[in-house]
Each structure stands twice: as structure tokens, then as C-alpha cells.
Amino acid sequence: MAPMKRRTFLVAAAGGLLLSRSTRAAPSLPSAPPVSARAQVMVSGGLITTEAGFLPAIQAAHRSFYPAGQPVLMVLNASLPDERDAAEKRLVDFFARNGFAAESLHHYSGAGARRRLGAAAAVFVGGGETFLLLRELQDSGLLGLLRERVLAGLPYHGTSAGANLAGPVIGCTNDFPVVDLSSRTALGVFPAVMNPHHPPVHDPEYAARAAKIQRYRRINAADTVLGLTNASVAILQRRQVRLTSGAGFLYGPTTRALPLGPIAELSSPVAL
């Protein structure tokens, strides 16, 4: 009997947007690449804006994290294609209020996109559909270039889906798999699998989320998971991971709620 062929995955999204993918070659990135000591990575749990702009904690983090006076290149591929112009307009205004010029990468394609990413001084990767974000970066060939640049020191802020992308694999996202992927391998520039939008301890959904992540680790025991509540921020800089605002939860050999400050378990994997 001939082997069964993998079925093409078809998903209709956003009022008729049809996304499809059949069997594809896996990307060349390893499943758990090492994190460079030069990497500067900021991850946030999501919901970092109001109608007035970025939350004060995010504004402060941007001013200390991004290079002063340098523009920010936004990667908005987690948004649906017909929503990216509006997302860009809103975020450009928010960045301007905080003293940064910003532009979205979605205006470029092919070699032009590679040149624009190669020249970027800072990157912001927004939220939305994690699997769509990963697939578009895989298909465009930009995933490897982005990883290379971040490991060489390009400041990277990822929120929600963008935070998921920073880890070694997409493992504990809350998103539906709205598109097919050949691999869950992500950037590998932050030493933990991410779970954004993690409920705080007093939230009725906290126990269910914690139990779900613990079950994930029973199957993927080598993975350390970092849960971040909305508006929480963790930053990798100078070989150290710190929780700088909000609440975080670490799931590893020891599971614990995190105080503000260094996270020793996440700093040790960072290369010297």
C-alpha cells in the first residue's frame, strides 16, 4: 500500500481570506539554537497599548532599550494582510509620541525586504496570529536573517505573537494554528518557550493555564516556559534575563512565580 499523503491544510480566515499550504521543506534553523551573549531581546505579554498610546511601562522600556534617535522597523506579519496598513498607522503614531520614527516591513518584499531588515537599527514584532507570523517569515526567507541580526545585537521587542517568535519553538502560544507549518522552530533568540497573556494568580483562569503548561512540559520536559501577564516585560541584555515589570511565571524543573529582577534559570543558557 502506498504511504498516505499529508493532507493540504485549508483555513478560511477574516471574512474569506483563504490560506493554504501543502507539504513543504523544513527550514534550516536548528530546533533549539543557542542564545548569543550579544542578543538584546525584550518580550512582553501583550495588551501593551491603550487608545492613547503605549502603556507607561512600555514607553519607559522602549526609551531604555531602543537606541535613541534610531528608527524602529515593525514586523506586522502576525496581522492579517488587509489589516497591516491600519496597524502600522496606529503604531507609527504611538512610537512618534515616544520619540521614535517607525515603518512597517510589509511594504517591502523579496530582496527589498532583506535589504530593509539588514539595515534596521531596531525591530518591533507585533501581536496577532503566531502561526501566520512564523509561516510568512519562513516562506519569505526572513526568519534566518532576523535571527542572525538579533544574535549579532539588533534590539528586538516582541509582544504577544512577537514574544512567541523569540523563543526556540512555538510551543505554548494561545493561538489557533490557522495555517500549516513545516516546523515550529522559531527565532531562538530568547532562552524560553513563551506563553503570553498568562493569567495572574488571582484570575479564575490561572489554574487551568498553569495545568496546561505543566502538561506541555510532561511531553516536552527539556523546554523551559516563561509565562508573562499582559503588559509584563522581560529583557535579555548583557547575558542576563530580568523581569522588569508586571508578573511572570517560570515552568521548568522548578515552577514558580517570579519577582522583579534577574531570572537565574534563564540567564545560565546564554552563551559567554
Q: What torsion do the CA atoms of 223, 199, 47, 11 make, to the nearest 10 degrees?
A: 60
* Residue pair 77/133 in contact by the 8 Å Cβ criterion: yes
pLDDT above 80: residue 73 = yes
Cα gap 79→76, rounded to integer Å: 6
pLDDT digits (tens, 9 = 90+) for 18-62: 333 333 443 333 334 457 889 999 999 999 999 999 999 999 999
Cα gap 70→260, rounded to integer Å: 28
Burial of 85 (0-12, 13-18, 19+ CB in 10 A): middle
Going along the chain from its start, the domains and CATH numbers come out as 33-267 (3.40.50.880)
Mark 218-253 as b/e (b = at least 16 C-beta within 10 Å): eeeeebbbbbbbbbbbbbbbeebbbbbbbbbbbbbe
Q: Which one from 175, 180, 232, 245 is the annotated catalytic residue?
A: 175
* Radius of gyration over every alpha carbon of the chain, rounded to an integer in angstroms: 18
Q: What is the pLDDT of residue 268?
A: 66
Count of other CB atoms within 10 angstroms of residue 100: 20
Which H or E element spans position 130?
Answer: helix 130-140
Q: Which one from 44, 104, 160, 245 is the annotated catalytic residue?
A: 160
* Residue pair 139/181 in contact by the 8 Å Cβ criterion: no
Is there a catalytic annotation at residue 197?
A: yes
Question: Measured between alpha carbons, how far is residue 241 from residues 173, 190, 226 in Å?
Answer: 20, 9, 11
Q: What is the pLDDT of residue 37?
A: 86
Count of other CB atoms within 10 angstroms of residue 91: 21
Beta strands in 9-107 (DSSP E): 9-13, 17-21, 41-44, 49-50, 53-54, 72-75, 102-104
- Give me the mean pLDDT over the 74-94 stretch: 97
Cα gap 236→29, rounded to integer Å: 21
pLDDT digits (tens, 9 = 90+) for 128-147: 999 999 999 999 999 999 99
Cα gap 160→174, rounded to integer Å: 9
Q: Which one from 197, 198, 232, 245 is the annotated catalytic residue?
A: 197
Q: Has this prediction a pTM greater than 0.85?
A: yes
pLDDT digits (tens, 9 = 90+) for 159-215: 999 999 999 999 999 999 999 998 999 999 999 999 999 999 999 999 999 999 999
Q: What is the pLDDT of residue 191?
A: 95
pLDDT digits (tens, 9 = 90+) for 229-255: 999 999 999 989 999 999 999 999 989
* Residue pair 129/80 in contact by the 8 Å Cβ criterion: yes
